[in-house]
Amino acid sequence: FEIFNLDLKAGDSLKIKGKISEDTNGFVVNLGHSSSDLALHFNPRFNESVIVCNSKCSKAWQQEHRDSHLSFSKGSTIKLVIEFLADKFQVKLPDGHEVEFPNRHCYDKITYMSVKGGFRVTSFKL
């Protein structure tokens, strides 16, 4: 699932609903300008029981941020709300917990989004 002409501006929220497959080790939601320039790489990893967030600049990964609050499981249907603010991203998990990650590139607009791995998107709303 990839979108190249997303128009997400600072202050906007993105709601993503979908089903996590039973046999996955994790999935990824990427937001940025391209696959090599990502402002937010949101990566729940079931094999490590952690959510890893990161950013990528000119194909180079930056410092990982790890959050051990993994409140959903394989096989479940979830809704994620990603709020894009001028200085950070706030990802609201199904149980209300929020994962915050800084807007390291200071982007004011996100044009690229991809969802990869064991997550089937059933709907998304800007």
Structural domain harbouring 119:
2-92+99-125
**C-alpha–C-alpha distance, residues 104 and 79, integer Å:** 25
- The pLDDT score that the predictor gives to residue 86 is 95
pTM of the model: 0.96
CATH number at residue 18: 2.60.120.200
Task: State the total domains in the chain.
Answer: 1
Largest CA distance in the chain: 36
- The pLDDT score that the predictor gives to residue 69 is 94
- Characterize 52-70 residue by residue with b for buried, 16 or more Cβ atoms within 10 angstroms of its Cβ, and e for exposed: bbbbbeeeeeeeeeebeeb
Of 71, 63, 73, 72, the residue nearest 104 (C-alpha): 63
- The pLDDT score that the predictor gives to residue 33 is 97
Q: How many CA atoms lie within 13 A of 92 on its CB side?
A: 11
